[in-house]
Chain A
Amino acid sequence: MNPDALAIFWPFGIFISMLFIIGLYCVLATFNLVRALIGLELLIKAVTLLLVVAGYISNNLALAQALVITLIVIEVVVMAVAMGIVLGIHSHNSSLDLRKLKNLKG
């Protein structure tokens, strides 16, 4: 095992997991729909950074960059569809409050 690789991995690993936890907290603990989407975006950034770090350590940056580019394209489409659905909810309920979405029970 390469001791150098693990030494680089650890600081990045800690910060990436902190960003991941911040993103998860934002998704789980918010009352506003758009804030949940912002939390999702933070999660995506954490995973992007993890991919680039993994590529950097294993000297495979070309593959990692290709994966990151594909990932960014896909996430833009997911965000666009999510925005459409948020606008649809707003047009029905006139508010973006998550607690008002109690129409479906159980």
Chain B
Amino acid sequence: MLINIIILICLILSGLWTVMTRSLLRAALGLALTSIILTIIMFRLGSPLAAVFELSVCSGLISVLFISTISLTEPMSQQETLKHMRQRLVRFWYLPFVIVAAGIALSFLKMPLDFKLSVTETMQTVRFILWDVRQLDLIGQVIILLSGVFGVVILFREGEKR
């Protein structure tokens, strides 16, 4: 359990770095790093299939999408970026204190927080559930991939009239 907490702290730190860093390219790399740490957590929680999917798609495909978009569009100049970063940090200085204080206040109230957990006994495999039980989701994935293809064809066509 302790190792889980250490990995979770690393996750939060890399998330913070992704948001706070100055250049866009580093933010995209930070996103990929966050994906990798998330994959490690999911592995430890016993879901290897979802972890591998997340690794290959999110830290692979989506990082490629982000980096290609960033390189196709010119980022703001360095001076402007530095000024914005400083302004942003100054504007929201009170936010961490507010959240920590709210958390401490909430933990002192006596709130009814238990729920009736439902534990499934039968152990089915992911393959069975994905292909046999949730077939409607598969049809949904086919439809959304088709519409994604149409969207890419429409939106990425160069040289159209503006």
Q: Which residues of chain A are near B58, meaning CB under 8 Å? A: 41, 45, 72
A104 interface residue (CB < 8 Å to B): no
Q: Which residues of chain A are near B162, meaning CB under 8 Å? A: 91-92
Chain A nearest CB, measured from B111 CB (Å) = 13
Give the bracket for the number of chain B residues in contact with chain A: 35 or more
Total number of A residues with any Cβ neighbor in B under 8 Å? 68
A residues with a Cβ closer than 8 A to B are 1-2, 5-6, 8, 11-12, 14-15, 18-19, 21-23, 25-26, 29-32, 34-35, 37-39, 41-42, 45, 48-49, 52-53, 55-66, 68-70, 72-74, 76-77, 79-81, 83-88, 90-92, 94-97
B residues with a Cβ closer than 8 A to A are 1, 4-5, 8-9, 11-12, 15-16, 18-19, 24, 27-28, 31, 34-35, 38, 41-42, 45-47, 49-50, 53-54, 57-58, 61-62, 65-66, 69-70, 72-76, 84, 88, 91-92, 95, 99, 103, 113-121, 123-126, 128-130, 133-134, 137, 140-141, 144-145, 147-148, 151-152, 155-156, 162
Having A42-B34, A48-B50, one finds 7 other A-B pairs with CB under 8 Å, namely A12-B4, A14-B103, A42-B18, A48-B54, A68-B53, A74-B144, A84-B155
